Amino acid sequence: MKIYIKTYGCQMNENDSLYMMGILEKEGHEIVGSIEVADVVIINTCAVRKKAEEKFYGKLGEALHLKKNKRDMLIGVGGCLAEKEREKLLEKGADFVFGTRSYPRISELVEKATSGEKFTYFEDHIDEIDSSTPRRLKGHHAWVTVIYGCDRFCSYCIVPYTRGREKSRPMEDVLNEVRNLALKGVREVTFLGQNVDAYGKDLGDGTSLAKLLRESLKIEGIDRLWFLTSYPSDVTDELIDVVASSDKISKNFHLPVQAGSNQILKRMRRRYTKEEYINLVNRIRNKVKDVSISTDIIVGFPGETERDFEETLDLLKTLKFERVNLALYSPREGTLAYKIYEDDVPREEKIRRFQRLLEVQKELNRELNERYRGKVVDVIVEARAKSGLMYGRDIRNKIIAFEGDESMMGKWAKVKVRKITAGPLYGKLVWLEGSKDDEDKTLWRSGAQAKSEEG
């Protein structure tokens, strides 16, 4: 059968979809890139914010419209919104609905749906995903999920209810997957988890993210290791030391702070204070040379006063994050915040605060990016941007764009930064792995960090 899969949400959802594609292809199905030619449409959903839900319902409407003229087409819905809405999605037109830990059985679910029966399926089969599970690959980079679920239960977050409690994969199985990926030409791996720093705690055998990174460094062919997303109070000194120890591990910590006010952090049920968060950032910066820190902030959480907002703004200016993901607070049915707090910050005020934070962050980005001017930066070429330029990321997760073509993808390159913006950097290619002037291969194999150059 021809199967079209549309994914919304985080990297975890993207990775789940890649596994589904691999499982379905192994069973002889064809994955197609167009919904119009599909026999089966599978939508992998997100429920973190209202906007993600709206996008899903738009795509569901498109599929239902096509089904009017193609009555034998099947529509399946999985992911976080499926966990939240369940049978309601059958009433809205889906033929089958499945949970976030049910997708390892996707081939069986598709087969069952062909019988004409409408059904939901929410059994936990996540342990069936291991290093032998077939999956789609996307070039030189691969995501590897190491821990599922989250035990933090922040008051605004639906994830613990849709993804379940934390469950780590055995470290040796993860390492086997990384070895298999390296044999297939993958050069960069990102370890994923809703709370990746909690990896191994539930296993009780001493497994940790720090140990996983240390062992992964021994795998030949893997040139860079990344990890996300981190929960601040779960970041250990051991993890910081491991990141500092190797040029193959990304010098980037994504540490969602969510707010700069202790009052709001308490209402959010975050397990740290502003002062503890600042201390963590300082510890990381003291140990990891030239590290990049990025974060998430929720604007307009219930009860957020102007003073609370000013504290968040001050935190932004003080810590000078390399990147900030901003989001307006939106109530999520099923969360504690939805039950006990009134969404009392007017939307106009949320937007004003959002714009103010955005303006300050843009200025900070431009200031921080100036440090790159004239530098030669090592990147692995990732893809072609909408602008037509190729781009790659350096070890600090900074995007640098430059003239090139698709033949460069997956190769190490050295790019001299010529133009600075508040977002991407722009430069000129000065060296490419495998080119005629590829004389010193030790440079790209070591993943050396950006070096200054005159001019």
Any idea what the CATH number is for the domain that residue 226 is in? 3.30.750.210
When divided into structural domains, the chain yields a total of: 3
Measured CA to CA, the distance from residue 208 to residue 201 in angstroms comes to: 7
Asked if residue 324 is part of any domain, the answer here is: no
Name the phi and psi angles at 389, rounded to 5. -80, 155
Of 233, 250, 267, the position where a domain reaches its end is 250
Q: Is residue 212 a part of any domain in this protein?
A: yes
Same domain, 181 and 95: no
Whether residue 59 lies inside any domain: the answer is yes
Provide the phi-psi class of 424: left if phi over 0, else alpha when psi is between -120 and 50, else beta.
beta
161 neighbors 202 (Cβ within 8 angstroms): no
141 and 122 fall within a common domain? no
Residue 23: what pLDDT? 98
- Mark whether 116 and 204 lie in a shared domain: no
- Same domain (yes/no): 38, 113: yes
Same domain for 10 and 121? yes
For position 455, what pLDDT does the model report? 33
Q: Which long-range contacts (CB under 8 A, 24 or more apart) does 49-55 make?
A: 49/327, 49/330, 49/332, 50/330, 50/332, 51/330, 52/8, 52/9, 52/81, 53/81, 55/8
Final residue before a domain boundary, out of 127, 147, 173: 127
Strand order from edge to edge, sheet including 252-254: 252-254, 292-299, 323-328
According to DSSP, the β-strands at 375-384 and 451-452 are antiparallel
Inter-helix orientation angle 11-26/106-113, to 10°: 70
Domain check: are 387 and 436 in the same one? yes
Domain CATH number, residue 69: 3.40.50.12160
Does some domain include residue 347? no
Q: Is residue 383 a part of any domain in this protein?
A: yes
Does residue 222 contact residue 250 with C-beta atoms inside 8 Å?
no
Cβ atoms within 10 Å, residue 185: 12
Domain boundary among 250, 273, 297: 250
What is the pLDDT at residue 217?
98
Query: Do 141 and 69 sit in the same domain of this protein?
Result: no
Contact 215, 175 (CB under 8 A): yes
CATH of the domain at 381: 2.40.50.140
Q: In terms of domains, do 163 and 237 share one? A: yes
Provide the domain limits for residue 24. Answer: 2-127
Q: Do residues 8 and 123 both lie within one domain? A: yes
Q: 359 lies in a domain? A: no
325 lies in a domain? no
**Are 60 and 100 part of one and the same domain?**
yes
DSSP helix/strand/coil, 329: coil
Task: Report the pLDDT value the prediction gives residue 454, as an integer from 0 to 100.
Answer: 33
* 392 domain-assigned: yes
Amino acid at 19: Y
Rounded to whole angstroms, how far apart are CA atoms 151 and 134?
29
In a shared domain, residues 171 and 236: yes
Cβ neighbours, 10 Å, residue 140: 19
Which one-letter amino acid corresponds to residue 309?
Answer: F
Q: What is the pLDDT along the chain (455 residues), one digit of tens a residue?
A: 999 999 999 999 999 999 999 999 999 999 999 999 999 999 999 998 888 999 999 999 999 999 999 989 999 999 999 999 999 999 999 999 999 999 999 999 999 999 999 999 999 999 999 999 999 998 899 999 999 999 999 999 999 999 999 999 999 999 999 999 999 999 999 999 999 999 999 999 999 999 999 999 999 999 999 999 999 999 999 999 999 999 999 999 999 999 999 999 999 999 999 999 999 999 999 999 999 999 999 999 999 999 999 999 999 999 999 999 999 999 999 999 999 999 999 999 999 999 999 999 999 999 999 999 999 999 999 999 999 999 999 999 999 999 999 999 999 999 999 999 999 999 999 999 998 665 544 444 433 333 333 33
| 162/204 same-domain check | yes
